[in-house]
Amino acid sequence: MQPVTLTTDRLVLRPVGPQDTDAVHAAAQDPDIQRWTTIPSPYLPEHARSFVEQLAADGWADGSLYTFGVFLPDATTLVGVNSLAMRSLGTAEIGFWTAKEHRGRGYTTEAVLTASRWAFTDLAVDRVEWRAEVGNNASRAVARHAGFTLEGTQRSAVNNKGVRRDCWVGSLLPSDLGLPSTAPYLPAPPVGTSSPSGTGTSSPSDG
């Protein structure tokens, strides 16, 4: 897929390139970014070069990972990075980090909603998933502000630098943003609601 650029009143979301290497490297020195994301630690200049010149470009080319640099309207001041990884048919997982000096202004929530809306309308995605290691309260706050429904905790679901950890998981659906789905969605009935004609799938107890 050809890379695209998305804009809001306050932000420009565009593909990263070689001109962004130094900004990505500088922002990723933040200990919180290295702690809560899966980027290498220490984060060296060659890691930043590989990210902007190869990983991000390859993801756009093969449709597996859509990475946006999040910038102020000048399109050069880096606010953070936002990516959509295609996980299964109609499902993408969103990941993000924010440069320390730009936190607390709602930029990341704005970027997450913009990228998610694009995924729903242009990628035929019907579910955007969010995952974060348990304890990453800043990421959880962004997900809540963006309207994600928090669905629970998954055990040993992420591998961060060789250590498996529990993670929170949530989802955003097209209907949460007033958009149609590409496939019909039939929500499960509330817990405790009987299936029609007693056709439940649970097995009888052996006592």
Predicted confidence at residue 190, as pLDDT, reads: 87
Average pLDDT across the chain, whole number = 94
55 DSSP assignment: I
At 51 the pLDDT is 98
Place of tokens 């905790």: 153
pLDDT in tens, 93-139: 999 999 999 999 999 999 999 999 999 999 999 999 999 999 999 99
The dihedrals phi and psi of 171, each to the nearest 5 degrees, come to -145, 155
Prior bond of 204 cis (ω within 30°)? no
Instruction: Report pLDDT for 195.
Output: 58
**Residue owning tokens 């963006």:** 146
**Residue 15 identity:** P
Q: Name every residue whose Cβ is closer than 8 Å to that of residue 12 and which is 6 or more positions away in sequence.
A: 5, 6, 70, 71, 72, 73, 75
As a CATH number, domain 6-127 is 3.40.630.30
At residue 94, the pLDDT reads 98
Residues of the chain with pLDDT under 50: 201-207
d(CA 54, CA 48): 10
